[in-house]
Structure 1
């Protein structure tokens, strides 16, 4: 039976008797209430879920996803935070898409392809000792364990007897409160899959160093990657043997002056030296941070440190130096000297940290500003960081009154700083502890 069999003869009007005789009254009245075409012509496909009632792949995917969520709500809701995390990663789009495929279990590993009736060897091409699942290809392969061990992340190991699917592994990384770690992890995982494909389809083998280099290029712009002086983000949990960190910061008093402080430390946090000073005049925060980095690099040259990590809490300056995202030409000689000193050192990495993680350099900069000291270098810090009264003076110099009464003026701060009891200050000739 066709629809036009329910019309009155030689018309396009419903025949109510035929309709009600064919179905029950409830459905019959629904049919009779439907409008239909008034023009003769062939039937056309009609899609309710797309614009202009036309089918598109996007609308089909949306409908399939909707039905899947209704059938199994946990599929989308269980990893809701991980989906958001993936799309918020500070990496290039193809790395985000790769991470999405991992979470959706859509990577064409040998195991996944065999499930689609593709006849191939399920063993891992890299080690030949295990079946290539997604977890094996990205983490559990012997080659992969070495890669993650030498990577800048120093990830906590997954125990042999521990069952840890890829989603749980991603959740572990997401729980680390550092976006730079997240981006580096994603770019390395993408590079692992990229080099795996080179091996499978082109027969090209890559070593661990080359894989990390590819990960670097997948995360950072080409202009930075071509500069051998800049490398991937510094190790977060531990430094390389012999590598030192110089923490830099500036304290700015608008229309009055700036103080800068730089502290050189080893991997255990022991102070190897410091450099600080102050200048009168009107400086911006960016100018002050750039001067702090410059003095930090001078300290490295002075202490003959060749492998250093320069740490700053100014995100704008960090991105400007490492990614050339901002024109720093207005800083003039300061930036030129920074680049010259970087070239003079054997290896330099730049790292960004939150302000809370740069507290000691911040205090040193405030100390320099409070006394307007000329640029000085010492082997130890010139103050006791455990002296709460001294910290109050420093925070006041930055406009942060602990009692919530607003910022003190510098005319009050500097005299207070000069009245700190000498017994509360660590003498420069004694080791700082």
Structure 2
């Protein structure tokens, strides 16, 4: 009664008492004179009101059967991998998930551009700082040298590949994006990309595709040099 986690809470737990109780009591000692009912008066004398309500909501079988373990996270009390996964990420003791880098509104805007789907995914990874750039590969202990393999003049960061590198600058000059925006030292990475998304949103599909494939292709060549 007081040690098993049989109260269908999140997560399941034993009932909480406010009165005296016997540690070795069993749940069936709180049944009423009619087996299919609870002894509500006895429950109220020992258990806090909130837990009494949860207990009274549990139906008692009218026939004598062996007790079985149930999984209260599904209506049929049967465990599924899906419900187990849900519990695993929603336990009250879990630390809140750490969001990926980059503002959510800007990531949402990326999906509204007229770029092909794989390039939208590429831009999302770019904003999340999860691309396999040299500095990330070094941080992940995959490589020791993070130097750009195209210009060999700076570390291979996302900013370098897509904004600061000589090849990237050539693409930006024909992109329709203001040079003042790209070269402004006070603009953050996210602010520049937000401006880029505004421009891409206005471009025709074909122009947008040509421009983004230029950036995407440069990144791909970096990875194969």
Tell me the TM-score normalised to structure 1 length: 0.33
Shift, 1:103, TM fit: 3.2
Residues 170-201 of structure 1: CA distance to partner in whole angstroms, max 9, x if unpaired? 2223444972268634653354334423442x
Select the structure with the greater relative contact order (CA < 8 A; seq sep ≥ 6).
2
Look up the match of 1:164.
187
Pick one of 4, 9, 15 that aligns with 1:2: 4
Alignment pair present for 1:134 and 2:154: no
Stretches of structure 2 that go unaligned for 5 or more consecutive residues are: 7-24, 91-95
Give the direction of change, closer, same or farther, for the CA distance of 1:3–1:175 in structure 2 (3 Å limit).
closer
Q: Distance in 2 between matches of 1:144 and 1:182?
A: 21
Pick one of 19, 24, 46 that aligns with 2:73: 46
Taking only aligned residues, the RMSD between alpha carbons, in angstroms, comes to 4.6
Look up the match of 2:196.
173
Alignment of 1:193-342 (within 5 A): 193-200=216-223, 202-203=224-225
Q: Distance in 1 between matches of 2:138 and 2:45?
A: 54
Shift, 1:12, TM fit: 9.1
Look up the match of 1:247.
none
8 A Cα contact 2:171 2:215, kept in partner: no
Answer 1 or 2: which has greater strand percent. Answer: 1
Q: Distance in 2 between matches of 1:116 and 1:173?
A: 29
Residues 271-327 of structure 1: CA distance to partner in whole angstroms, max 9, x if unpaired? xxxxxxxxxxxxxxxxxxxxxxxxxxxxxxxxxxxxxxxxxxxxxxxxxxxxxxxxx
Look up the match of 2:49.
26
Q: Distance in 1 between matches of 2:118 and 2:165?
A: 24
Q: How many residues align?
A: 184
8 A Cα contact 1:135 1:166, kept in partner: yes
Q: Distance in 2 between matches of 1:163 and 1:47?
A: 53
Shift, 1:162, TM fit: 0.8
Give the direction of change, closer, same or farther, for the CA distance of 1:99–1:156 in structure 2 (3 Å limit).
same
Give the direction of change, closer, same or farther, for the CA distance of 1:19–1:105 in structure 2 (3 Å limit).
farther
Alignment pair present for 1:103 and 2:123: no
Stretches of structure 1 that go unaligned for 5 or more consecutive residues are: 204-433
Q: Distance in 2 between matches of 1:30 and 1:117?
A: 54
Give the direction of change, closer, same or farther, for the CA distance of 1:178–1:193 in structure 2 (3 Å limit).
closer
8 A Cα contact 2:38 2:56, kept in partner: no
8 A Cα contact 1:123 1:129, kept in partner: yes
8 A Cα contact 1:86 1:96, kept in partner: yes
Tell me the TM-score normalised to structure 2 length: 0.56
8 A Cα contact 1:110 1:123, kept in partner: yes
Look up the match of 2:172.
148
Q: Distance in 2 between matches of 1:102 and 1:33?
A: 54
Look up the match of 2:17.
none
SS in 1 for 2:28: coil
Q: Distance in 2 between matches of 1:133 and 1:195?
A: 13
Q: Distance in 1 between matches of 2:123 and 2:51?
A: 52
Alignment pair present for 1:87 and 2:107: no
Larger Rg: 1
SS in 1 for 2:168: helix
